[in-house]
Amino acid sequence: MSNGRDKILSRAVKEIEDGMCVNLGIGMPTLIADMIPADVNVMLQSENGLLGIGSYPDADDVDPDLINAGKETVTAKSGASFFDSAESFAMIRGGHIDLAILGGMEVSESGDLANWMIPGKMIKGMGGAMDLVQGAKKIVVIMDHVNKHGESKVKKNCTLPLTGEAVVHILITDMAVFEFTEQGMKLIELQDGVTLEELRNATEATFIVPEQLQ
């Protein structure tokens, strides 16, 4: 795991609180399942029909019938339950998911999220992100701060098709942590080794800098 990704995941797991029902998006967010402290009791929900996801299995414990939404093999905790997708999306749309941690392609300064497709690229389907950003009580997005070309993924306005408008509560990148308030996008933490000047140079969006950073 790269140092930047380790920073992102280590910070993201701090958003998970005891007793929560949490949905982890496809990709980097699924790695968080193995990082939740043993004394934090959470129920991980997957939109393909599993409540009570455990850690990734050892080679000897792989069950091809136990998968998450990203088609990765997982384990089920004691007390887990299984159901169809209709029931799963009823949980999401009904507001029963406390927290969703999702990957992102772009996030705008107003909290818009683009994470479901790149025009011209083959995709398997919409996935559940559009439902999650509307139904979950809190949305945390994790992503690299810049793309492979060095361009900011934290934008004034998203250029990719939107998943949802003004839906992001917390954005965690390898450079910083932001929250979205009525006043605008607010910097709340700098990642270790990152200066404010470096962050400004890497960020297209306008953001508020409080007098005292956490």
Active-site annotation, residues: 47
Query: Nearest 5 degrees, angle CA 104-CA 192-CA 34?
Result: 55
**Under 8 Å between Cβ of 137 and 99:** yes
Integer Cα distance of 76 and 67 in angstroms: 9
Strand 113-114 to 106-108 pairing: antiparallel
CA 179 to chain centre: 14
Classify 11 as helix, strand or coil: helix
